[in-house]
Amino acid sequence: MITGNIITDFSLLILFLPLVAFTVNIFFGKRLPRQGDWVSIGAILITLILSLSMLLNMFMNWDPDFSHEAKFIWMDLGAFKIELGFWVDNITIVMLVVVSLISSMTHIFSLEYMKGDIRYSRYYAYLGLFTFSMNGIVLANNLISLYIFWELVGVSSYLLIAHWFEKPSAAAAGKKAFLTNRVGDIGFFIGIMLMFTAIGSFNIQEVFTGVSQGLIGGSLLTLAGVGLFMGAVGKSSQFPLHIWLPDAMEGPTPVSALMHAATMVAAGVYLTVRLFPLFSPDALLVIAYVGGFTALFAASIAITQNDIKKVLAYSTVSQLGYMILAVGVGNYIAAFFHLLTHAMFKACLFYGSGSVIHAMHHSLHELDDHDTDPQDMRNMGGFKSKMPITYLTMTIATLAISGVPFFSGFLSKDAILAGSLGFAQHYPQHFLLPVFGFGAAAITAFYMFRLIFMTFHGEAKMPKVFKGIHESPRVMTFPLMLLSGLSIFIFYTLPYLNPLSDHGWFTELIRAGDSVVPGNPTAHEIGEGVHHAHYTAMALSLLVAGLGIGLSYLMYLKKKLSAEVWANKMGLLYKLSYNKYYFDENYDRFLYQPLLKLSRAVAYVDWDLYDKYFINGFGRVTKWLSFLTGRIDYDGLDQSIVDGIGRATQGFGKQLKQVQTGRLQNYMLFALVGVIIILVIQTI
């Protein structure tokens, strides 16, 4: 049994240990033995142990309503106070475990993957900074500290994406990620400020109370909710701000696994899960449609991509869309569940791709071939025999993401799909939401198996390269094995063993809370809808998953169906998908270029007209005035009055000096004259 204070202490340690590692590595990393990686790994392993002990404690308590808040006043500004603090409940604890687990795996994986990197210690320092910020988001009990850590996560994401900043594409990708996130963060900040203006507090639970009291409502609440959701759109890479995540794959692969698959992008989902009770029905609809559309849309891009990491990136966008969709339809616990399972298998997939790229890279390096793209799946094939562990673990993760029974993805995906189906049954006008969901599920199964088949099956496309392929060392396969193990259903359904039902510790311990917005359906009503739709959803999801896998099997393994023929048949659609619906191009043409033109015009007005004539004119007038004043002051005032007084005093002194003759009798005479003057004055 861990009491509240110890929870606070643990949380403090979990939060600040990675920061300590960051500080040590950023300042002394290069001077430490092994460039200080052991500092970071030690810190993150302690964090993992602490998180696991908190998880163990959660199991021992078995209290679904566990909630612990610790706070202190940061700024007391009289009229209002800003507090900092922790809000620890079961969701927080699970999220802490996810973050520290994936972060630990990344630290370990990077030992080999980043070996010999020129900025090795800085890389570990940034990992520490990221873990610190991410834990800060997870633990935050108020919106303002949430926002601070939110931005810190953005910074560390920027730093890590642009880790190889010598590559212009990496530098550009970092910039793009940061700026795109900023767009969302503006909405996030507006949402926070709207909440604060209406309720007068940043504390999340006080905000909930304020919303339930009706301090903020109607369209203003919807606006605030959409604003807060915009933060999630940016960070979780939802349509239309999804453009940064695929580019972010320029960063090192372990970073992609940690941040751009498992944790950081999940921060947006975590935010909506945490703040779910305050979203108004309209805001939730916006969330549901954005999420559902993103799920289908991103999946449709993933089909045609050839870069192994790009496929996974679009897959991530699509899966995050799933989670957002689940939040939107009110089944936010399913969203969190999917976040948890997705973190495990998607991190595993990224590590797997990292392992493959690592092997390719080494093989190409030995062949002295620097032109072949080590990430292009068209250059792979048949790696199954060379990299058995990577193949096996990635296949397990792929089964999980495709929603095959006995794997974790099936449970969480099923819950999400059931939620959207239940929602559509209740509101038939929103029939599109389950269509998005099931469509995306089918496509996901298709492109994930396409990835597996293209990479590991068939014959090697480049035999020379194939010869040099080796299985990765233990430090890289260990995280793969661990995470693929965690993709098995059993870890989420204990103490029950039914592979087809998500009933288990998760559903027992993490229960949906009621929305605090008056008029929203209660958690029970939503749960009823999900329950009704459960079996239909399960059957449908199994059907679409089988369809996707089967199609993929026929097309890429058996070659019964030619991918090229189909691509030609669907010419336009294929082209759209292959070029990612021309989003970057259109943003460039309709958003960036006009903006740049506008900026240039404004700059012209500002610099060439306003600055040159108005500001500089002011400057000239001021200069002229100063010159004049200087003349008056120096030549006039100083010379005549100030110096004049001095000269007068000096002259007077010179005159008076002559009185000081040193002759006693002169003095006496003066004294006498003085006496006479005094007497005369007296007499008169």
Among 72, 657, 681, 684, binds other proteins (CB under 8 A): 657
Q: Which C-beta is closer to other proteins: that of 6 or that of 676?
A: 676
Stretch that binds other proteins, among 106-114, 156-164, 610-618, 657-665 (CB under 8 A): 657-665
What would the DSSP string read from start to end of 317-386? HHHHHHHHHHHHTT-HHHHHHHHHHHHHHHHHHHHHHHHHHHHHHHHHHHTT--SS-TTBGGG---TTTT
Q: From the CB of 620, what's the least distance to other proteins, in Å?
A: 55
Please report whether residue 599 would count as binding other proteins according to CB under 8 A: no
Q: From the CB of 666, what's the least distance to other proteins, in Å?
A: 7
Q: Which C-beta is closer to other proteins: that of 626 or that of 661?
A: 661
Please report whether residue 56 would count as binding other proteins according to CB under 8 A: no
Q: From the CB of 672, what's the least distance to other proteins, in Å?
A: 5
Among 3, 429, 655, 660, binds other proteins (CB under 8 A): 660
Q: Is 397 left (phi over 0), alpha (psi -120 to 50) or beta?
A: alpha
Please report whether residue 676 would count as binding other proteins according to CB under 8 A: yes
Q: Which C-beta is closer to other proteins: that of 429 or that of 658?
A: 658
CA distances from 246 to 81, 161, 580, 583 (A): 41, 11, 10, 12
Using H for helix, E for strand and C for coil, what is the string for 180-216? HHHHHHHHHHHHHHHHHHHHCCCEHHHHHHHHHCCCC
Q: From the CB of 647, what's the least distance to other proteins, in Å?
A: 21
Q: Which C-beta is closer to other proteins: that of 73 or that of 671?
A: 671
Q: Which C-beta is closer to other proteins: that of 604 or that of 670?
A: 670
Please report whether residue 561 would count as binding other proteins according to CB under 8 A: no
Euclidean distance between CA atoms 684 and 669, whole angstroms: 22
**CA 34 to chain CA centroid, nearest Å:** 29
Q: Which helix (DSSP H) or strand (DSSP E) does residue 228 occupy? A: helix 218-235
Total number of residues that touch other proteins (CB under 8 A): 17
Q: Which C-beta is closer to other proteins: that of 1 or that of 681?
A: 681
CA distances from 514 to 88, 219, 519 (A): 18, 20, 11
Please report whether residue 649 would count as binding other proteins according to CB under 8 A: no
Euclidean distance between CA atoms 344 and 220, whole angstroms: 38
Please report whether residue 668 would count as binding other proteins according to CB under 8 A: yes
Stretch that binds other proteins, among 89-97, 185-193, 608-616, 670-678 (CB under 8 A): 670-678
Q: From the CB of 676, what's the least distance to other proteins, in Å?
A: 5
Q: Which C-beta is closer to other proteins: that of 118 or that of 680?
A: 680
Q: From the CB of 625, what's the least distance to other proteins, in Å?
A: 48
Q: Which C-beta is closer to other proteins: that of 595 or that of 669?
A: 669
Q: Which C-beta is closer to other proteins: that of 179 or that of 672?
A: 672
Please report whether residue 653 would count as binding other proteins according to CB under 8 A: no
Q: Which C-beta is closer to other proteins: that of 572 or that of 659?
A: 659
Q: Which C-beta is closer to other proteins: that of 570 or that of 675?
A: 675
Q: From the CB of 652, what's the least distance to other proteins, in Å?
A: 16
In 3D space, the residue among 137, 152, 85 whose CA is nearest the CA of residue 268 turns out to be 137
User: CB-based burial of residue 28 (10 Å sphere; 0-12 exposed, 13-18 middle, 19+ buried)?
Assistant: middle
CB 523 within 8 A of CB 514: yes
Q: From the CB of 643, what's the least distance to other proteins, in Å?
A: 25
Among 570, 591, 621, 673, binds other proteins (CB under 8 A): 673
Using H for helix, E for strand and C for coil, what is the string for 45-111? HHHHHHHHHHHHHHHHHCCCCCEEEEEEEEEECCCCEEEEEEEEEHHHHHHHHHHHHHHHHHHHHHH
In 3D space, the residue among 49, 43, 54 whose CA is nearest the CA of residue 128 turns out to be 43
Please report whether residue 663 would count as binding other proteins according to CB under 8 A: yes
Question: Tokens standing for 170?
Answer: 């990496």
Please tell me whether the peptide bond between 254 and the residue prior to it is cis, using omega within 30 degrees of 0.
Answer: no
Residue 618 DSSP label: H
Q: Which C-beta is closer to other proteins: that of 61 or that of 666?
A: 666
Q: Give the residues across from 140 on adjacent strands.
A: 86
Please report whether residue 654 would count as binding other proteins according to CB under 8 A: no
390: which residues sit within 8 A by CB, 6+ positions away? Answer: 352, 355, 356, 383, 471, 472, 477, 480
Stretch that binds other proteins, among 274-282, 515-523, 579-587, 655-663 (CB under 8 A): 655-663
Please report whether residue 642 would count as binding other proteins according to CB under 8 A: no
Euclidean distance between CA atoms 141 and 82, whole angstroms: 11
Among 79, 680, 681, 684, binds other proteins (CB under 8 A): 680
Binding residues for other proteins, rule: CB under 8 A, are 657, 660-666, 668-669, 672-673, 675-676, 679-680, 683
